[in-house]
Chains A and B, each alone.
Chain A
Amino acid sequence: MTRHIVARTSEIPPGGNKVFGVEGRDIVIFHVNGEFFALLNRCPHEGAPLAKAACVARLTSPEPGVYQRSRVGELLRCPWHGWEFDMRNGQSYFDPQRVKVRSYPVAVESGEELQKGPYVAETFAVHVEDNYVIVEV
């Protein structure tokens, strides 16, 4: 696994996402509730771009008439057929063991830390004063 510096943290606004080409893959990075998550930008079902997914809450119901909303913004709903995936690990809501989107470890590190390397930052000039999103592919 190689650690790639893909963006300044400020490039991906809260609630938003951005797609990066890393080692020939389209990887989408989401910024939710102060955390960053990286997934392959491709639904395992029919290939829809997950960057266009709705970011929704986990909605469950222990019994009819009662519902619970949790983990607001951390579930993806595919832009085509509505399959839901957990941003943290790519697992699908309906069959977590068998159906998942490939997910990648993400870290946020300061420019100061990054100066020490080794990192792949093909197109970046890394500045000490900024924070960066690192994805391991």
Chain B
Amino acid sequence: MSDVIDRPILEQEATAKTRLRIIDCDVHPSIHAHSDLNPFLPKRWQEHLKTYGSHLRTPYIGTTPYPRSSPLIARRDAWPPTGGPPGSDLDFMRKQHLDPLDVEFGILQVLDLFIFSQQNLEFGAAIQRAINDWQLAFWSDREPRLKASILAGQDDTQLAIAEIERCAKTGRYVQINVCPRANEPLGRRRYWPIYERAQEIGLPLGIHVGGYGGHAPTGGGWPSFYIEEHQSNAHTVAAQLSSLVLEGVPERFPKLQIVFIEGGFGWIPATTWRMDQHFDRFRSEVPHLKRRPSEYVKQHFWFTTQPIDEPDEAKHLRALIDWVGADRLLFSSDYPHWDFDDPRFAFKTPLTETERKKIFNGNARALYKL
């Protein structure tokens, strides 16, 4: 870092013709009020929400187990002047994010109502259905740049598949989202019917960090601080990548494309090196794998870039990108959350023109068929 940085490290190109438009693979829309969902939520579940509320697989009701660093985990400048929570006002999102950063497409990731952490799976499925409809009515219909993801909590596999099929028929969704912290590791066979359906339909499987699966968020138990819990996002996706690969999901469903969202990518090299090393020694334990784990990772998995790793020396980020491979990376901003990455400034190391095109646009365009 220089003494005083008051200029962008990577300026966007000056002219409109040569400018690289951004595909942002992680944009969070928010519900303005619970009643926004009423048109899409059967009376039975509206009354349930009113009477019993939201019961999560975590120790607290109505809040997260760890107080976040900023209200609603949002950028402090992202509260719409019209009121309502950050991410709830389309015009303000256009003005603050989509237009100035020249976002060509934004992939919606809804986290409201702790969508994948509901203890009552049937209620969870009902809100997922409502939110899937709401994404089209409130966002994609009004702003064609914003593309919806099918929320399908995997712990009730049948309901998840029914919802995937219902939404996929419309042809309007670009991804199927499942929870990164389910009741069991994601590679387990109980979840395979979902992967089979996703492969048949041809939509990528998105796994956005967060939520609670009824287990402690770290392998070491319940941590003390948000700073520790925030770290655990990366541990969780590393564990789920290992589970998916080692249980043989990409081997069994070779056309399935899997995207890890908001897990960053600094942990990938060490995780895959270790998986390969162990595979060379214990392959007889997992004879269903035909290739080394890293080969599956390099073909079947994608990773969004935010929160980008910030090593003290920029050359280490450069090495990291080389190790992971520019083909595997999808730019994401996480707007409007506090750990937002600005596409102009987040990469503190130079990228080649080819790499920039892939990471900021081309990879996502191909993956999501945009």
- Chain A positions within 8 Å of B, measured between CB atoms, are 40, 42, 44-49, 52-54, 79-82, 90, 95, 98-102
Please provide the 8 A-B residue pairs with the shortest distance between their CB atoms, ordered closest to farther.
A79-B76, A52-B77, A44-B5, A46-B345, A46-B342, A52-B76, A79-B77, A80-B75
> Using a Cβ cutoff of 8 Å, how many contacts connect chains A and B?
55
Shortest CB–CB separation between residue A28 and chain B, in angstroms? 12
- A80 interface neighbour in B2, B340, B344, Cβ under 8 Å: B340
Shortest CB–CB separation between residue A137 and chain B, in angstroms? 13
- B70 interface neighbour in A42, A49, A82, A102, Cβ under 8 Å: A82
A-B contact pairs, 14 of them (CB 8 A): A46-B341, A46-B346, A47-B8, A52-B77, A54-B70, A79-B76, A79-B338, A80-B75, A81-B340, A82-B70, A90-B4, A98-B1, A100-B4, A102-B4
Q: Which residues of B are found within 8 Å of A81, using beta-carbon distances?
A: 338-340
Q: Which residues of A are found within 8 Å of B3, using beta-carbon distances?
A: 98, 100
Q: Which residues of A are found within 8 Å of B345, using beta-carbon distances?
A: 45-47
Instruction: Select from chain B the residue with minimum beta-carbon distance to A98.
Output: B1
Q: Which residues of B are found within 8 Å of A90, using beta-carbon distances?
A: 4
- B6 interface neighbour in A42, A79, A82, A95, Cβ under 8 Å: A42
| Interface pair A48/B75, CB less than 8 Å apart | yes
| Interface pair B76/A53, CB less than 8 Å apart | yes
Instruction: Select from chain A the residue with minimum beta-carbon distance to B339.
Output: A81
| Interface pair A80/B339, CB less than 8 Å apart | yes
| Interface pair B338/A44, CB less than 8 Å apart | no
- A102 interface neighbour in B6, B339, B346, Cβ under 8 Å: B6
Shortest CB–CB separation between residue A110 and chain B, in angstroms? 32
A95 CA / B8 CA spacing, docked (Å): 20
Q: Which residues of A are found within 8 Å of B6, using beta-carbon distances?
A: 40, 42, 44, 102
A51 CA / B70 CA spacing, docked (Å): 16
> Is B64 among interface residues, defined by CB-CB distance under 8 A?
no
A45 CA / B339 CA spacing, docked (Å): 12
Q: Which residues of B are found within 8 Å of A101, using beta-carbon distances?
A: 4
Extra contacts besides A47-B345, A81-B339, A82-B338 (12): CB < 8 Å: A40-B6, A45-B5, A46-B345, A46-B346, A47-B8, A52-B76, A79-B77, A81-B338, A81-B340, A98-B1, A100-B3, A102-B6
> Is B277 among interface residues, defined by CB-CB distance under 8 A?
no
| Interface pair A48/B77, CB less than 8 Å apart | yes
Residue interface bits B49-82, CB-to-A below 8 A is 1, else 0: 0000000000000000000011000011100000
Name, among B2, B76, B342, the residue most crowded by chain A CB atoms within 10 Å (CB to CB). Answer: B76
Name, among A46, A54, A90, the residue most crowded by chain B CB atoms within 10 Å (CB to CB). Answer: A46
- B76 interface neighbour in A54, A95, A102, Cβ under 8 Å: A54
Q: Which residues of A are found within 8 Å of B77, using beta-carbon distances?
A: 48-49, 52, 79-80
Q: Which residues of A are found within 8 Å of B342, using beta-carbon distances?
A: 46-47
Shortest CB–CB separation between residue B350 and chain A, in angstroms? 17
A89 CA / B346 CA spacing, docked (Å): 25
A49 CA / B1 CA spacing, docked (Å): 20
| Interface pair A47/B75, CB less than 8 Å apart | no
Name, among A49, A53, A80, the residue most crowded by chain B CB atoms within 10 Å (CB to CB). Answer: A80
Name, among A44, A49, A54, A82, the residue most crowded by chain B CB atoms within 10 Å (CB to CB). Answer: A44
CB contact under 8 A between A99 and B1, given known A47-B344, A82-B70, A82-B338: yes
Instruction: Select from chain A the residue with minimum beta-carbon distance to B345.
Output: A46
A11 CA / B6 CA spacing, docked (Å): 27
CB contact under 8 A between A79 and B75, given known A45-B345, A46-B345: yes
Q: Which residues of A are found within 8 Å of B5, using beta-carbon distances?
A: 44-45, 99
A82 CA / B77 CA spacing, docked (Å): 12
Shortest CB–CB separation between residue A100 and chain B, in angstroms? 6
A45 CA / B344 CA spacing, docked (Å): 11
Shortest CB–CB separation between residue B275 and chain A, in angstroms? 31
Name, among A48, A49, A101, A102, the residue most crowded by chain B CB atoms within 10 Å (CB to CB). Answer: A48
- A44 interface neighbour in B4, B69, B341, Cβ under 8 Å: B4
Residue interface bits B319-345, CB-to-A below 8 A is 1, else 0: 000000000000000000011111011
Shortest CB–CB separation between residue A122 and chain B, in angstroms? 23
Q: Which residues of A are found within 8 Å of B69, using beta-carbon distances?
A: 82
Shortest CB–CB separation between residue B71 and chain A, in angstroms? 10
| Interface pair A80/B338, CB less than 8 Å apart | yes
A66 CA / B344 CA spacing, docked (Å): 41
Q: Which residues of B are found within 8 Å of A99, using beta-carbon distances?
A: 1, 5
Instruction: Select from chain A the residue with minimum beta-carbon distance to B9.
Output: A46
